[in-house]
Amino acid sequence: MGPLPLPAPHQPVPRLPNRRALHDVPQGALFDPSQQAAILTATHPRQVKALGRKVKNFDAATWEDRREAIVTEGTRLKFTTGAGAAERRRRLLATGTGELVEASPFDPIWGVGFAPHVAPTVDREAWGLNLLGKALMVVRDELRTAEGRAG
């Protein structure tokens, strides 16, 4: 499968313009490195999304195979590096052990595909993949385990 298109632990982590860039920057790195720089300079999630759709040489099967690991690693970096990581970590751990969902009516891949007020009323079989929610729960469990070892 090869290394993830994210910085190694000893490399500087680029400041992402917004959460949307969490998967569009690695997508650019995987398929179209020239587009990655443009994504990093975008200032609005819509810009990032539009640039992400312009990535050349995109291979859906490769992306589908790697996206979950890439976004989990990006989420891990979000909660362990950079200014504000300790506060973000505290807030994530404060969610306890409950299920986390990206309740977006527009995104059945990274989220459940339903708005926050609708998702609880819909049969879970109709939900999207919720890959972002799953990544958050994986990282939360890792942080909790690490905290237990440190304490």
Q: Which residues contact 106 (CB under 8 A, 6 or more apart)?
A: 113
Q: What does the alpha-carbon distance between residue 79 and residue 49 come to, in Å, rounded to a whole number?
A: 23
Given this model, what pLDDT does residue 34 score?
82
**For the chain, how many residues are written?**
151
| pLDDT class of 94 with cuts at 50, 70, 90 | very high
Residue 21 has pLDDT above 50, yes or no: yes
- The model carries a pTM of 0.79
43-45-63-56 Cα dihedral, nearest 10 degrees: -60
Q: Is the pLDDT of residue 4 over 50?
A: no
Angstrom distance (rounded) from CA 44 to CA 84: 20
Q: Between these two residues, 95 and 3, which has the higher pLDDT value?
A: 95
Residue range 116-129, pLDDT digits in tens: 999 999 999 999 99
CA distance 150 to 6: 26
